[in-house]
Amino acid sequence: MTEPTQTTDFGYRKVAKDEKAQLVAEVFHSVADKYDLMNDLMSMGIHRIWKRFTVDCSGVRRGHRVLDLGGGTGDLTAKFSRMVGEDGQVVLADINNSMLKVGRSKLRDRGIVGNVAYVQANAEELPFPDNYFDCITISFCLRNVTDKDKALRSMFRVLKPGGRLLVLEFSKPVIEPLSKIYDAYSFHILPRVGEMVVGDADSYRYLAESIRMHPDQATLEGMMQEAGFEQTSFHNLTGGIVALHRGYKF
């Protein structure tokens, strides 16, 4: 008797767990070249404020090791590179090679070299030693991970005692009128913009669906606690459209 295939969410679809990573990869291969432009268009530039707040909450200083997980085109890496200085290190890690290539090219064009390393890695099985990083950030990526609990445990393992994890992710609006406007924008306007700019409406339809399937603020905080993180908290940004979760390893 064959065992039933385990499934997971891919947007609103159910797919086999071992298929999701490839499906997500296809989305980001498609959008990688225009990823930064679409971020500016989708958020009207507000994503830069969300990321700046994340950096300000990181506690990163000179000499630290930082993992920018799912860091894509390197917005956070660029900021952390300046903060850790020549004695520190920032690892820009992403499972998607197309995104990693765009990030590497962009940062090198800006003269950011020396203290930045690039690693293609799966968040569920991070290829780093135990107790290695002072800070880990994962920005607009966790919702695309197949096994989020496994990924959180993997992040906990490679974080130093006293280190912190920051999860910046789309979340659940806490103001009802805003929620309705956000839904209308996500499902009617966003795919059209994706079609016009990238030639790919389906990828942006998936991104909107993946946001709706992501755990809400309290649920994600509970998942972080289950993974071992302590002193967890979250801060809603733009009415809860985005939330920054924090947790520490002691």
DSSP for residue 177: H
Contact 237, 50 (CB under 8 A): yes
pLDDT at 36: 79
Domain CATH number, residue 227: 3.40.50.150
User: Is residue 98 a part of any domain in this protein?
Assistant: yes
User: Is residue 73 a part of any domain in this protein?
Assistant: yes
Digit-coded pLDDT (tens) for 12-38: 889 999 888 888 878 887 788 877 777
| 39 is known to lie in a ligand binding site | no
- Residues 199 and 43: their CA atoms lie apart, in Å, by 19
Percent of the chain surpassing pLDDT 90: 68
User: Of the candidates 231, 241, 230, 136, which has an alpha carbon nearest to the alpha carbon of residue 183?
Assistant: 241
User: Is residue 56 a part of any domain in this protein?
Assistant: yes
| 139 is known to lie in a ligand binding site | yes
User: Is residue 8 a part of any domain in this protein?
Assistant: no
| 171 is known to lie in a ligand binding site | no
pLDDT, averaged across the chain = 92
User: Is residue 30 a part of any domain in this protein?
Assistant: no
Full residue range of the structural domain in which residue 67 is found: 46-170+215-248
User: Is residue 206 a part of any domain in this protein?
Assistant: no
Q: Total domain count for the chain?
A: 1
| 78 is known to lie in a ligand binding site | no
**What's the pTM?**
0.91
Digit-coded pLDDT (tens) for 193-209: 888 888 888 888 888 89
Is the confidence at residue 83, as pLDDT, over 80? yes
Hey, which residues does 233 pair with through a beta bridge?
Answer: 246
User: Of the candidates 98, 94, 92, 93, which has an alpha carbon nearest to the alpha carbon of residue 79?
Assistant: 92
79, 80, 81, 83: CA torsion to nearest 10: 100
User: Is residue 54 a part of any domain in this protein?
Assistant: yes
User: Is residue 207 a part of any domain in this protein?
Assistant: no
